Amino acid sequence: MSTIAPAEVVERVWARDPTLWTGRDEAEWLGWLDEPARMLERVDQLLEFAATADYDAVVLLGMGGSSLAPEVLRRAFGAASFRVLDTTHPAAVRRLEASLELERTLFVASSKSGGTIETRSHLDYFWERTGGDWSRFVAVTDPGSPLEQLARERGFLDVFGGEPSIGGRYSALSIFGMLPAALMGADVRRLLERAEEMREACRYGAGNPGLELGVALGEAWRGGRDKVALVDVPDGFELWVQQLLAESTGKQGRGLVPVEGDGADVQAHEVRIEQPYELGQEFFRWEFATAVAGSLLGVNPFDQPDVQAAKDKTNAVLERGEANVAPQGSVDELLDGAREGDYVAVCAFIDPEREAALEPLLTRIRETGTPLMSGLGPRYLHSTGQLHKGGPDTALCVHVVDDLGDELPIPGRPFGFRRLIAAQAAGDFEALRERGRRVVRVHLEDVA
């Protein structure tokens, strides 16, 4: 793309020209370009539903693209009555249930594919806990999915259909982000109008905010700075950007690596969010920029070919029985073997409430000067996990597990949440090892 004029790049993006990337199926995944305008036509439907649904609290059951934008919006708008469940740790599920008045809670099961194992497990668990009260459940999913079929069979309060031409990580401004925003009490029309302003700005060859960011990301990568740090980032927005960049570009041995801090191979970019409603424009700017950067990297920014590996390994572990999550390897030896260009990925399958206990480990890594990223499992499997396996062989992965406690059964499954998260940890570890990645596993109690 270095020989293509910026105006031509923009023209080819809007023309849905797949040869701007790899010439495969990219054109089928560009629905996000039109979504702000399309969602503006659905605003009244969302606001009416939010105004008439009878609830005191909302729990979103989702993973990855279905949960990260809602989590960013929740933090930005300070929506205390809106919760996001994107962990399979039994302690977290128990704690959430104990904090709810189930008869006054609306559960939003959100999954584009409709088959996400975490979301379906959460849904079945709370469906049983509410006694199958259909008035407490809503589904957000693509048309024809298994979740849509289940929701209609069970008579859910409502089913909201997604746009099939949008991948999960590009769905922030779709029904997957905007229904949660409406349920938080946010002015969805205002959010989308800001996004529409950015969408129009991204049509220009000059003064195009998304193009400028995308070219900067890609050219810096070409110049050897493949790490990306965010400047002045509001709490939570980095979670969404991490997935967008890592899952979109981390493939074919290449990738933009979201990290904290600075360094010779780190490029820094500002986040332009001074007040919550600017999230609308910033979501679109980063989506457009990532598509442009993907062209510079020569990858398809809309697929995730290596995500399935951890899922397959998880299923294999579940079929074998109890997972082995015993410590393996030495953190000291892993860090001592760091090479130029490496980064450390802390992958923590722990109770999210104990995330602060990772700080001694993170501080120890920061002191080495090696760029760092950290994420909670299984959330990161739907986010940066693609980069760890399909991106450059520069990841030093530190898996962390904690005491998973007693089993918590999942209705209709031969396993519970304890066994599921253990299998996810073990499956990802095996998938990384299979690809020759450098990975160790430690217990939280040993590093806290």
The two structure tokens encoding residue 97:
């249930």
Please report how the helices 90-99 and 117-129 are oriented relative to each other, as an axis angle in degrees rounded to 10. Answer: 40
Q: Please write down the long-range contacts of 128-133, taking CB distance under 8 Å and 24 or more positions apart.
A: 128/411, 129/97, 129/102, 130/102, 130/103, 133/103
In the chain, list all ranges with CATH 3.40.50.10490. 35-186, 307-447
296-347 pLDDT per residue, tens: 999 999 999 998 888 999 999 999 988 999 999 999 999 999 999 999 999 9
Whether residue 3 is predicted with pLDDT greater than 80 in this model: the reply is: no
Pairing outcome for strands 438-443 and 395-401? parallel
35-186 folds as Rossmann fold (3.40.50)
What is the arrangement of strands in the sheet containing 266-270, beginning at the earlier edge strand? 257-258, 227-231, 266-270
pTM for the predicted model, two decimal places: 0.97
Q: What is the pLDDT of residue 181?
A: 98
Query: Among 243, 426, 400, which Cα is nearest to 318's?
Result: 426
Task: Name residue 430's amino acid.
Answer: E
Whether residue 235 is predicted with pLDDT greater than 80 in this model: the reply is: no
Give the mean pLDDT of 13-27. Answer: 97
CATH 3.90.400.10 fits 307-447, yes or no: no
- Return the bridge partners of 231, or none: 270
378-404 pLDDT per residue, tens: 999 999 999 999 999 999 999 999 999
